[in-house]
Amino acid sequence: MQFATAKWYDRRDFVYIEFCVEDSKDVQVNFDKSKIIFSCVGGTDKIKHQNVLDLFEEIDPKESKHRRTDRSVSCCLRKAEAGKPWPRLTKDKAKFNWLSVDFNNWKDWEDDSDDDLSSFDKFSEMMNSMGGDDIPDLDGADDEQESADSDDEKMPDLE
């Protein structure tokens, strides 16, 4: 058996872990208050993976879930104490070579008041604050542009 490579990130109410095992089979994820046990058989080589994590803080095992895809197994752990940041995933301060922070999803949520807004909502809010009322009507703009465009004039021949 060997460890599955994993990435994790923290949110206000949840901690997310992604075990990066392609084509996983026989996936088992056991949630306990202070521990998670992950195991599966993965890849074309059918390697057995197992990870046992003593978590930094307690979770709610009944509200924690996992989902398998062709590329990984994602776990969503509901924090027992919401709003408390986790500086690391495990109780032990040791570095594990198979575990890393998922910087693509990491976010400093402690100071973020817009946590409930989706990315689309944030984008829409930004566009509205820029004043989108000045945008002209573009119907028929192509016809007017052709006659007024000076780039369409014939260039003189090069000598």
What confidence category does residue 1 fall into, taking pLDDT thresholds of 50, 70 and 90?
A: confident
What pLDDT was estimated at residue 105?
83
For 51-97, how does the pLDDT look when each residue is reduced to its tens digit (9 = 90+)?
A: 999 999 999 999 999 999 999 999 999 999 998 999 999 999 989 99
Domains and CATH numbers, the chain: 6-84 (2.60.40.790)
CA-wise closest residue to 100 among 111, 108, 89: 89
pTM over cut 0.75: no
CA dist., res. 57 & res. 63, Å (int): 15
The alpha carbon torsion through 107, 109, 110, 112 (nearest 10 deg) reads 120
CA dist., res. 98 & res. 121, Å (int): 36
End-to-end CA distance of the chain: 75
CA-wise closest residue to 4 among 68, 93, 83, 84: 68
What pLDDT was estimated at residue 157?
79
